Amino acid sequence: MNDSTNATSETDVLLRHHLYSNINERRRHFGAIKSIADELQRPLPEIAQLYEDILEYLRGRAQVTDFLPILVSKKVRELCRRNVVKKTSPFGQGKENPRERRF
């Protein structure tokens, strides 16, 4: 098998395409998601789901969207490090659901 069959593509992970205004923006966010997943050694789909939850929340409130990848990445890292999201499941049993919290 070559690397292209093992690699997860952005179309496999990024499900909410309405969040991205163009392909370049989608790639920039996917790069941030992949970086966080690698850094925290977490599954890419888990990080993508959390990232897109936060992105959707912040995008609706942002006047300037240029810095959203930085802001969203910071929040995802913070939530993962505080162990709000368990490694085994998106929200973990008995853990706070980041979709229900205010960012």
Is the whole-model pTM more than 0.85?
no
Q: Which residues contact 49 (CB under 8 A, 6 or more apart)?
A: 90
pLDDT of 95 > 70? The answer is no
| Percentage helix, strand, coil for the chain under 3-state DSSP, each rounded to 5 | 60, 0, 40
Q: Predicted confidence band at 19 (pLDDT cuts at 50, 70, 90)?
A: confident
Asked if residue 29 lies in contact with residue 53, where contact means CB atoms within 8 angstroms, the answer is: no
Q: Predicted confidence band at 5 (pLDDT cuts at 50, 70, 90)?
A: very low
Q: Predicted confidence band at 75 (pLDDT cuts at 50, 70, 90)?
A: very high
Q: Which residues contact 19 (CB under 8 A, 6 or more apart)?
A: 29, 52, 55, 56, 59
Asked if residue 51 lies in contact with residue 32, where contact means CB atoms within 8 angstroms, the answer is: yes
| Percent over 90 (pLDDT), the chain | 50
> Does residue 54 or residue 84 have the better pLDDT?
54
